[in-house]
Amino acid sequence: MHPRDRWFAALGALPWLAVVVPMAMMAAALVSQGHGAISLNFLLEDPSRAGRAGGIASLLLSTAWILAVALAVAVPVGIGCAVYLSEEVLPGSAAEKRLGFVLDLLAATPSVVYGLFGYQFFAITLGFGFSILSGGLALSLMVLPLMIRSAEQALRAVPGSYRQASAALSITRWGWVRRILLPSAAQGIAVGIILSVGRALAETAVLLFTAGYVLRRPDSVFDSGRSLSVHIYDMAMNVPGGTERAAATALVLVTLLILINMVVRGLLRAPASLRQ
């Protein structure tokens, strides 16, 4: 082997050092710190004593509500925008470049900025206060660029031959979108939705500004609710003796994210017959 090629061979260790080792260290830290708190009751009980005792049931519920609000807004709006972009905006056109620039800018905007805007607009201006509604709406804004981009890519990947056949048969735009375009892209759109769920699930900054801290179970979307990610932050930073529960909650969150990733990978591996 040429001496210079030895350097290249040495690069083979880099992915393990940069990706696998930190992941393993993080998992080991979470397990060693949090395993003592993990039990079935941890998942089924509400927290007590500012989170030092009890479980995370109310937090799981609040997280699910916040996600539901975010997806209820982001999915239809995101898919609608993606259909418009893929059907009406030619790739490489000036409109596509401008819209693409704005979408990329929104995707790169720090989540704390979405939190600040969500607080000002949803909590103050619209009067929703610290609530699941404010948190869900702010999160929906944050995941929208990811949702639009992934759905747009899936829609643009639908074979042009379907569009050609549809035009030759004079299929209406609505019929084309409803019966051919969306079902053909369903797998890619689903992947985008699941990735958005993953991003929303892990989000903290936006929810600190909008959904609040309250530990109790929410009765409606107008109640404040604490998400898992906010709970981890609060237990680790503000509650003396909360480290073990923070790590245990993080373990639950990471497990949920791993499950979501597995679903995404399963969808991407789905055989052609299933995708049809």
Q: Is 170 in the site for other proteins (CB under 8 A)?
A: yes
The reply to whether 15 sits near other proteins by the rule CB under 8 A is no
- Binding segment for other proteins (CB under 8 A), chosen from 4-12, 60-68, 161-169, 247-255, is 161-169
Among 11, 94, 108, 168, binds other proteins (CB under 8 A): 168
User: E strands within the chain?
Assistant: 47-48, 53-54
Residue holding tokens 């989000």?
A: 203
Shortest CB 87 distance to other proteins, Å? 12
Return the number of the residue (125 or 161) whose C-beta is nearest other proteins: 161
Dist CA 263 CA 5 (whole Å): 39
Segment 178 to 237, residues that bind other proteins, using CB under 8 A: 179-180, 183-184
What are the residues facing 47 on neighbouring strands? Answer: 54
Tokens 């797998």, residue located: 187
Min separation Cβ 96 and other proteins, Å: 13
Structure tokens that stand for 182 in this block? 């969306």
Query: How far is C-alpha 106 from the chain's CA centre?
Result: 15
CB closer to other proteins, 185 vs 253: 185
CB of 165 to other proteins, least distance (A): 5
Distance CA 270, CA 38 (A): 34
Smallest distance, other proteins to C-beta of residue 190, A? 16
Q: Does 156 bind other proteins (CB under 8 A)?
A: no
Min dist. Cβ of residue 135 to other proteins (A): 38
> Minimum CB separation from other proteins for residue 154, in Å?
14
Question: 87-110 burial, b if ≥16 CB within 10 A, otherwise e?
Answer: eebeeeeeeeeebbeebeebeeee
Which uninterrupted H or E stretch holds 257?
helix 243-269
Q: Does 86 bind other proteins (CB under 8 A)?
A: no
Check residue 171 for interaction with other proteins (CB under 8 A).
yes
Q: How far apart are CA 144 and CA 206, in angstroms?
A: 14
Please report whether residue 164 would count as binding other proteins according to CB under 8 A.
yes
Beta-carbon contacts of 136 under 8 Å, excluding residues fewer than 6 positions away, are: 65, 66, 67, 68, 69, 70, 72, 73, 211, 221
260 binding other proteins? (CB under 8 A): no
Which residues are registered as beta bridge partners of 39?
A: none
Determine phi and psi for 53, rounding to 5 degrees. -130, 175
Contact status, residue 45 vs residue 54, Cβ threshold 8 Å: yes
Q: According to the binding rule CB under 8 A, does residue 157 interact with other proteins?
A: no
Q: Is residue 76 close enough to count as binding other proteins by CB under 8 A?
A: no
* Nearest distance in Å: CB 164, other proteins: 6
The residues that touch other proteins, with contacts defined as CB under 8 A, are 90, 159, 161-162, 164-172, 175, 179-180, 183-184, 272-273, 276
